[in-house]
Structure 1
């Protein structure tokens, strides 16, 4: 991995941590989770914007298949890797460490790291563009392209993690809607 990318990851971890600490200072009465979600929202917004700016041809966003990442794509990956490192450490300081959350972070960190090491971007697009909309198609394209095994494994792993989190979100929404409906009836 190039030195400037490693520096970007280190600066990124420090920046995400600083944003978290500033949020805690500005909103001292709000929860740890609130501050972490502020950082998460900033990261998600920034990741989508930066990933959108790195698409070379919108008629075929994943073309050319298995191509080397551009410098902007590498920077976007580094920014997301730095966020995942920050978030994993941050979650260790939360009330309870959750296994599914830890696996999510580890798979993501290894995936982003592999993307930076191999200078490939296809698997990372899953995180930045509609996890469940375009994600399965991108995973398929990554698996059938001439990519190293680690890239293929991380693409599949990231999609499975995305599907798991999508499932959890659907359950939560279903629970909230059921709870709201039962409250209105009573």
Structure 2
């Protein structure tokens, strides 16, 4: 049976975390900065829970489409609570970011289905882990802006790390996981979610590629 009480408590806990960060930094930093701080905590919590749920790293996709283990359910519940909180928080902080809203809706649908049915934990955890790999660098990029270190070697190194890890995870390993999900006993809802997340990843990859090209062009112009 789905742990609805645990999900509710988790959602409130993530919201409380945002409230605490806002109370401490609200006068000095923006709402986006405070939300990124909470998101950064989720990155490491989710990564740890996902890795802890893998019983055999030599065959991490074993059990795809089957019942979820207790550890997989813990990872799914924790991240579902976070994404529910983050969806509503982002509606306030970035009300016009359609891409971000679509990403949250698809993620909540996939994790929510796995949470309610207690199935497909293997592919959901794999997808979640891949999504979070590049997120520390994405959040750090936004945090650096408010620290006033946007145009520094540290920021450049962070951007490069983000591009490389995002490309490897989302455009390299991601399609492999999606392929196995589509050819497994996973339900149509999970398969749709996997394809949806991959489509969003491709869209973001396009935006990242444009950003990289802009920076390279900008450097060439300065050199001239």
* TM-score greater than 0.5 by the shorter chain: yes
Cα shift readout 1:148-182 (whole Å, capped 9, x = no counterpart) = 21121111112222222233233334434443x15
Is 1:171 equivalent to 2:215 in the alignment?
no
Alignment of 1:27-176 (within 5 A): 27=25, 28-94=27-93, 96-118=95-117, 119-121=119-121, 122-129=123-130, 130-176=169-215
| Cα distance, 1:127 vs structure 2 | 2.5
Distance 2:94 2:53 in 1: 37
Aligned to 1:12: 10
Report the 3-state secondary structure (helix = DSSP H, G, I; strand = E; otherwise coil) of the residue aligned with 1:128: helix
Question: CA RMSD, aligned part only?
Answer: 1.9
Cα gap change, 1:183 to 1:18, in 2 (>3 Å)? farther
The partner residue of 1:24 within 19, 22, 25 is 22
- Give the unaligned 5+ runs of structure 2: 131-168
Distance 1:114 1:79 in 2: 14
* Structure 1 stretch displaced more, 120-129 or 29-38: 120-129
Cα gap change, 1:83 to 1:170, in 2 (>3 Å)? farther
Distance 1:102 1:86 in 2: 12
Aligned to 2:143: none
Cα shift readout 1:23-71 (whole Å, capped 9, x = no counterpart) = 1122121111111111111111111111000001000101123221111
2:50 touches 2:128 (CA, 8 Å); kept in 1?
no
Instruction: With a CA cutoff of 8 Å and minimum separation of 6, indicate the structure with the bigger relative contact order.
Output: 2
Distance 2:64 2:7 in 1: 26
Cα shift readout 1:103-141 (whole Å, capped 9, x = no counterpart) = 111111111111223321214412312333321111100
Report the 3-state secondary structure (helix = DSSP H, G, I; strand = E; otherwise coil) of the residue aligned with 2:60: coil
TM-score, with structure 2 as normaliser: 0.75
- Give the unaligned 5+ runs of structure 1: none
Q: How many residues align?
A: 183
